[in-house]
Amino acid sequence: MSARSETKRLSVPDIRARKGGTPLVALTAYSALTARLVDAHADILLVGDSLAMVEHGMDTTLGATLDMMILHGQSVMRGSARALVVVDLPFGTYEESPQAAFRSAARVLSETGCSAVKLEGGAGMAETIGFLAARGIPVMAHIGLTPQSVMTLGGFRTQGRERAEWDRIEADARAVAEAGAFAVVVEGVVEPLAERITTALSVPTIGIGASARCDGQILVLEDMLGFNARVPRFVRRFGEVGAAIDKAVGDYAEAVRERSFPGPDHVYQPKD
């Protein structure tokens, strides 16, 4: 039996139990390749609808489809063995009713084998979260800056700049947690409010552009690796892989044009 097959994947109860403990490490992953690279280090791999922008070149996440999410979710599951895999429900696949959300989530879980789904929205989605949780579908909630609502928000705007907004945002967080979400992503929320929400909830908070006091952190993998020249303020670039790829491809192109590649070690000769 391979070491990979012996690896025990983290479960939803494992993640929930990390509340107030060692911070959870979460990253996006969209393919088997990236999943293999980060699986040993991450507790959660999110197949985010951000793949619409990162992988498919769209301007927003709104173009992601359920079939697209399932395809990438299957790939990430094949490439990972340890991390809990969560797949986003894309725009238009869950907002209509709890029943519509159940049909979408059931497809995601059954066709990918992932452990949970994530959906955006606060108190307005509490009924849906409760409906899913009661039917055996683990849900990660997402409040604060919700990219699927970018048209309503008027762009990717930090939430809670005005203290008058704090009670509403905290109420959203409490509502989704009380409805049954096992964790809550807190995105683009001012630091003191994110810390207050983390203290108030009995389930882990996963921050992105929020606070180091959250119970975990998530970033888009390609952002933190330096693939993109422009990234949000909350991203720390932990590597410059994009620049390394650019140099490698440039060196390859130069070698091809000057006919130094392929060389004697890269071609085959007849036996006689």
Task: Average the pLDDT over 194-223 and give the result.
Answer: 97
Active-site residue, selected from the candidate residues 187, 195, 240, 254:
187
165 is catalytic: no
Res 150: pLDDT:
65
Q: Which domains does the chain have, with CATH numbers?
A: 12-240 (3.20.20.60)
CA angle centred on 244, ends 28 and 42, rounded to 5°: 25
Per mean pLDDT, which range of 112-121, 124-133, 144-153, 219-228 is the poorest? 144-153
Task: Tell me the binding residues for 3-methyl-2-oxobutanoate.
Answer: 49-50, 88, 118
The pTM of this model reads 0.93
Cα separation, 202 vs 20, in Å, equals 9
Q: Which residues contact 212 (CB under 8 A, 6 or more apart)?
A: none
Cα separation, 22 vs 127, in Å, equals 31
Longest dimension (CA), the chain: 83
Task: Tell me the binding residues.
Answer: 49-50, 88, 118, 120
At 149, the pLDDT band (50, 70, 90 cuts) reads confident
- pLDDT, tens digit (0-9, with 9 covering 90-100), for 28-39: 999 999 999 999
Query: Where do we find the tokens 């994530």?
Result: 118
